[in-house]
Chains A and B, each alone.
Chain A
Amino acid sequence: MALPDIPVVAETGALTGNARAVLGEVETLLDGLLRTGEGGIVDIRGLPLSPGDRIWLLEQLGKGEVEIHLDIGGRSRILETAYPAVWWIEHCDEGGHLISEFIQVAYVPELISAHPDDVESGLEHLRNRNADLS
Chain B
Amino acid sequence: MSDNRILETLAGQGISRRAFLKYCATLASLMALPPSAGKAFAEALAKAPRPSVIWLPFQECTGCTESITRSHSPSIEGMIFDMISLDYQETLMAAAGHQAEAALHEAMERNMGKYILIVDGSVPLGLDGAYSCIAGRSNLEMLKEVAQGAAAIVAMGSCAAYGGLPKANPNPTGAVAVSDVIKDKPIVNIPGCPPIPAVITGVLAHYLTFGSLPELDHLGRPKSFYGETIHDRCYRRPFYDQGKFAKTFDDEGARKGWCLFELGCKGPVTYNACASVKWNGGTSWPVESGHGCLGCSEPDFWDAGSFYKALSMPANPLKLAAGAAVAGAVAGIAISVSNKARKGAAKTGHETTTLADLEKHHE
Name A's B-contacting residues (CB within 8 A): 8-12, 14, 16-18, 21-22, 25, 29, 32, 38, 40-43, 45-51, 53, 70, 72-73, 76, 91, 93-95, 97-100, 102, 110-111, 115, 117-118
Give the contact stretch, choosing among B103-111, B157-165, B180-188, B232-240: B232-240
Residue of B nearest to A40 (CB): B349
Instruction: Report the separation of the CA atoms of residues A55 and B187 in the bound assembly, to the nearest whole angstrom.
Output: 41
Q: Which residues of A contact B234 (CB under 8 A)?
A: 48
Residue of A nearest to B334 (CB): A18
B254 engages A49 (CB within 8 Å): no
Instruction: Report the separation of the CA atoms of residues A53 and B234 in the bound assembly, to the nearest whole angstrom.
Output: 13
Any A CB within 8 A of the CB of B69:
no
Q: Which residues of A contact B16 (CB under 8 A)?
A: 72-73
A48 engages B36 (CB within 8 Å): no
Given contact pairs A50-B235, A72-B22, A11 touches B29 in the complex (Cβ within 8 A): no
Q: Which residues of A contact B342 (CB under 8 A)?
A: 43, 46-47
Any A CB within 8 A of the CB of B335:
yes
Q: Which residues of B contact A99 (CB under 8 A)?
A: 26, 75-76, 281-282
Given contact pairs A45-B276, A46-B32, A95-B74, A72 touches B290 in the complex (Cβ within 8 A): no
Q: Which residues of A contact B361 (CB under 8 A)?
A: none
Any A CB within 8 A of the CB of B73:
yes
B257 engages A111 (CB within 8 Å): no
Which residue, B25, B75, B237, B342, has most C-beta atoms of chain A within 10 A? B25
A45 engages B281 (CB within 8 Å): no
Residue of B nearest to A102 (CB): B35
Q: Encode contact with A along B204-243: 1 for CB under 8 Å, 0 otherwise.
A: 0000000000000000000000000000011111110000
Which of B19, B237, B257, B339 is A12 in contact with, Cβ under 8 Å? B257
B22 engages A50 (CB within 8 Å): no
Which of A46, A95, A111 is B339 in contact with, Cβ under 8 Å? A46
- Knowing that A18-B235, A72-B19, A99-B75 are A-B contacts, what are 10 other residue pairs whose CB atoms are under 8 Å apart, sorted by A's residue number? A11-B256, A16-B239, A22-B335, A40-B35, A42-B35, A45-B278, A46-B29, A48-B334, A51-B288, A100-B30
User: Can you show 14 pairs from A to B with CB atoms below 8 A apart?
Assistant: A8-B255, A10-B289, A10-B290, A11-B255, A43-B342, A45-B277, A72-B16, A72-B18, A73-B22, A91-B26, A95-B74, A95-B281, A99-B281, A111-B21
Residue of B nearest to A14 (CB): B257
Q: Encode contact with A along B258-299: 1 for CB under 8 Å, 0 otherwise.
A: 000000000000000001111011110000111000000000
A93 engages B74 (CB within 8 Å): yes
